[in-house]
């Protein structure tokens, strides 16, 4: 995706909130989500675009007569209660709608246009959000070599990084039914654990509940069964990116993960942010791949000069905790990690290509997780198990408490944004959930 006029940082909107300093949703962003006004019936979900502090109602915009051709038919696809039909149309349609909406929101739009578009706006405070798509399948990858090495040292001190890691974009099949949109509570899971020195496992609430800082990648157009997607075409099949928190029960994980890997330690909940930032909006933030081991001999189906030079994205991320006591005192979230997607060992295109190289068919709305996006520094650890070295180094909280892992009542908030000189800052909104006590069984 190349730069064009929709990336111009000097462009302003006639909607004042879209020009506010630090907004996640300036006119250069225009992410998609599924919403309904709080005052409308429960089934009145439709697609919208975030702009400033508002949501632009796509079906309402389609009815104004302001859109034409491919932009109009794409907006009309937003009348569904999930983005899947819109995702399936393809990049030419997504771009046509983005460019048309950009023109309608620009500061030089006529007074008549502003009046018509204003009637299609809802305040974000006045709407409810749901998952952006109906997710048929969810695959979670493992793209940070820093996270893989740090976790490997905790579980396998003598062999932290498996020999296949630098050759294969590793992933596992997640559970789509337990995906939740930001704002929902997270119920502490129950499960089996093996206490140190014990000869039989115990059952009860997880004691080592953790977060994982990830991105969620939504598939747009799919591929036919048996027809792999080549690396050069991989991003044409990606609709966009959201924030993803892959909650993890570390004590359950340590007991169950051999020999088949994640199961109950991962499938109880995954939280997504509601807004999907398109690949076109992310074009100004492309960067070269990083390989700390300087290994560049990927197998040919995973290698290209273009992917190496511009396949990575500098999406900055942070995550932190606001305890119940902190929230009662009006204190802000205490940020414990700040990292970036640019540190990933494998790119988004490599994930898509490897996923389909055996003929696996992706479908519109399928979700790919990037895996925990830890960076090289200790402050860039994307999970508490890394940050606290398996619980050995508690972190101090502003309310005087300490954390090795999450406690009931903790509100966890993850944020993401892109920012650099010569480009407009764009953001992803929040990915937030509060830890609730385990259910008795």
In the chain, ranges of CATH 3.90.850.10 domains: 138-436
Q: Is the pLDDT of residue 260 over 90?
A: no
Q: What are the C-alpha distances in Å from 193 to residues 190, 237, 383?
A: 9, 40, 20
pLDDT of residue 157: 83
Strands (DSSP E) contained in 9-156 are 32-37, 46-51, 54-57, 121-123, 127-130, 138-141
pLDDT of residue 132: 98
147 belongs to the catalytic site = yes
In the chain, % of residues over pLDDT 70 = 100
pLDDT of residue 153: 87
pLDDT of residue 154: 85
Q: In the block, which residue shows the tokens 């109906």?
A: 134
Strand 270-272 with 179-181, pairing: parallel
Could you tell me which CATH number the domain at 5-130 has?
Answer: 2.30.30.230
pLDDT of residue 41: 84
How far is Cα 332 from Cα 322, in angstroms, rounded to an integer? 7
pLDDT tens digits for range 21-77? 999 999 999 999 999 999 888 889 999 999 999 999 999 999 999 999 999 999 999
Task: Give the class (CATH, top level) of 138-436.
Answer: alpha beta
What is the pLDDT averaged over residues 390-414?
Answer: 97
The mean of the pLDDT values for the chain is: 96
Q: Is the pLDDT of residue 441 over 90?
A: no
In the chain, ranges of CATH 2.30.30.230 domains: 5-130
pLDDT of residue 261: 87
Q: Which residue has the higher pLDDT, 123 or 154?
A: 123
What is the pLDDT averaged over residues 97-119?
Answer: 98
- The one catalytic residue in 7, 122, 146, 147 is 147
Q: What are the C-alpha distances in Å from 75 to residues 4, 43, 78?
A: 21, 19, 5
What is the pLDDT confidence band of residue 159, given thresholds at 50, 70 and 90?
A: confident
pLDDT of residue 303: 98
């Amino acid at each position: 995706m190349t730069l064009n006029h929709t990336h111009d940082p000097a462009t302003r909107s006639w909607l004042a909130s879209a020009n506010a300093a630090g907004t996640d949703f300036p006119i250069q962003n225009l992410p998609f989500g599924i919403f309904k006004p709080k005052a409308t019936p429960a089934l009145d979900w439709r697609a919208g675009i975030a702009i400033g502090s508002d949501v632009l109602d796509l079906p309402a915009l389609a009815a104004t007569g302001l859109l034409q051709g491919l932009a109009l038919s794409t907006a009309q696809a937003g009348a569904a209660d999930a983005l899947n039909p819109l995702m399936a149309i393809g990049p030419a349609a997504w771009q046509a709608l983005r460019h048309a909406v950009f023109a309608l929101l620009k500061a030089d739009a006529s007074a008549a246009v502003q009046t018509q578009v204003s009637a299609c706006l809802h305040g974000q405070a006045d709407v409810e959000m749901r998952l952006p798509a109906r997710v048929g399948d969810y695959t979670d990858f493992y793209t940070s070599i820093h996270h893989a090495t740090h976790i490997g040292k905790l579980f396998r001190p003598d062999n932290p990084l498996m020999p296949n890691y630098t050759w294969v974009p590793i992933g596992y099949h997640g559970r789509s039914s337990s995906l939740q949109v930001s704002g929902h509570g997270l119920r502490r899971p129950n499960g089996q654990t093996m206490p140190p020195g014990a000869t039989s496992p115990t059952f009860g609430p997880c004691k080592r509940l953790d977060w994982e800082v990830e991105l969620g990648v939504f598939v747009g157009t799919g591929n036919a069964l048996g027809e792999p997607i080549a690396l050069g075409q991989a991003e044409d099949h990606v609709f966009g990116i959201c924030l993803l928190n892959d909650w993890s029960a570390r004590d359950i994980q340590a007991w169950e993960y051999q020999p088949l890997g994640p199961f109950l330690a991962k499938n109880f909940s995954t939280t997504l942010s509601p807004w999907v930032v398109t690949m076109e909006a992310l074009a100004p933030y492309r960067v070269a791949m990083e390989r700390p081991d300087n290994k560049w001999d990927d197998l040919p189906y995973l290698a290209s000069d273009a992917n190496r030079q511009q396949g990575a994205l500098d999406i900055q991320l942070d995550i932190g905790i606001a305890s119940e006591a902190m929230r009662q005192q009006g204190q802000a979230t205490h940020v414990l990690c700040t990292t970036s997607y640019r540190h990933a060992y494998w790119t988004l295109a490599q994930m898509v290509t490897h996923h389909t190289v055996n003929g696996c068919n992706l479908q519109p709305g399928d979700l790919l997780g990037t895996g925990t996006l830890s960076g090289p520094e200790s402050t860039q650890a994307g999970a508490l198990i890394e940050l606290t070295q398996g619980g050995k180094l508690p972190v101090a909280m502003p309310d005087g408490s300490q954390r090795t892992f999450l406690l009931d009542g903790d509100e966890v908030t993850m944020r993401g944004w892109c920012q650099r000189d010569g480009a407009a800052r764009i953001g992803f909104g929040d990915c937030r959930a509060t830890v609730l006590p385990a259910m008795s069984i």
